[in-house]
Amino acid sequence: MVHVHDVVVVGAGPGGSATAHFLSARGVDVLLVDRATFPRDKTCGDGLTPRALRVLDSMGLLSEVRAHGFNIEAYEVVAPNGRATTAKISGAHEALVVPRLILDDLILRRAVDTGARFEPGVTVSRVEPNSSGITAHADDGRAFQGRIAVLATGAATGVLTRSGILPAQPRAMLAARAYFENLPNAQEPTFQLRFDNVPSPGYGWIFPTAERAANVGVGFFPRKGSGTAVRAFHRFVEHLPIGTQVGPVKGYPIRVDFLRSPTQTKNTLLVGEAAGLVNPLTGEGIDYALESGQIAAEHVVQGLTSGVHQTWLSDYDRLLRERFEKIFRFSEWIRDWYCRPALLNLLVPLANRRPELRQRLATIVLGEREPRGYGPANMAARLALYLVRNPRRAVQAHD
Selected from 99, 201, 272, 349, the binder of ligand FAD by CB under 6 A is: 272
Would you say 20 or 397 has its CB closer to ligand FAD? Answer: 20
Q: How far is the CB of 381 from ligand FAD (least distance, A)?
A: 31
Give the count of alpha carbons within 13 A of 32, CB side only.
32
- Report how far Cα 213 is from the mean position of its chain's Cα atoms: 22
- Using an 8 Å Cβ cutoff, are 297 and 23 in contact? yes
Stretch that binds ligand FAD, among 31-39, 81-89, 319-327, 378-386 (CB under 6 A): 31-39
Stretch that binds ligand FAD, among 5-13, 60-68, 239-247, 350-358 (CB under 6 A): 5-13
Q: How far is the CB of 227 from ligand FAD (least distance, A)?
A: 16
Measured CA to CA, the distance from residue 45 to residue 97 in angstroms comes to 8
Handedness of CA 257, 331, 14, 155 (dihedral sign): positive
Would you say 15 or 303 has its CB closer to ligand FAD? Answer: 15
Q: Where are the beta strands (DSSP E) in 221-270?
A: 244-255, 264-265, 268-270
Which 314-343 positions form the footprint of ligand FAD (CB under 6 A)?
A: none
Q: Is 196 in the site for ligand FAD (CB under 6 A)?
A: no
Measured CA to CA, the distance from residue 210 to residue 287 in angstroms comes to 22
Selected from 6, 11, 194, 328, the binder of ligand FAD by CB under 6 A is: 11
Would you say 240 or 357 has its CB closer to ligand FAD? Answer: 240
Q: Is 287 in the site for ligand FAD (CB under 6 A)?
A: yes
Selected from 9, 10, 166, 308, the binder of ligand FAD by CB under 6 A is: 10
Of the candidates 331, 43, 16, the one whose C-alpha atom is nearest the C-alpha of residue 174 is 43
Whether omega before 341 lies within 30 degrees of 0, making that bond cis, reads: no
Selected from 28, 44, 111, 361, the binder of ligand FAD by CB under 6 A is: 44
Q: How far is the CB of 144 from ligand FAD (least distance, A)?
A: 11
Q: Is 273 in the site for ligand FAD (CB under 6 A)?
A: yes
Measured CA to CA, the distance from residue 285 to residue 218 in angstroms comes to 15
Counting DSSP H helices and E strands in the chain, the numbers are: 12, 18
Strands 30-33 and 4-10: parallel
Question: Would you list the DSSP string of 344-387?
Answer: HHHHHHHHHH-HHHHHHHHHHHTT-SPPTT-SHHHHHHHHHHHH
Selected from 13, 202, 208, 276, the binder of ligand FAD by CB under 6 A is: 13
Q: How far is the CB of 196 from ligand FAD (least distance, A)?
A: 19
| Interface size with ligand FAD, residues (CB under 6 A) | 43
Which 113-172 positions form the footprint of ligand FAD (CB under 6 A)?
A: 122-124, 152-156, 158-159
- Binding pattern to ligand FAD, positions 213-252, x when CB under 6 A? ----x-x--------------------------------x
Stretch that binds ligand FAD, among 44-52, 182-190, 320-328, 338-346 (CB under 6 A): 44-52
The residues with which 218 forms a beta bridge, in sequence order, are 176, 204
**What is the contact surface with ligand FAD in residues (CB under 6 A)?**
10-16, 33-36, 42-47, 122-124, 152-156, 158-159, 175, 177, 217, 219, 252, 254, 272-274, 278, 283-287, 289
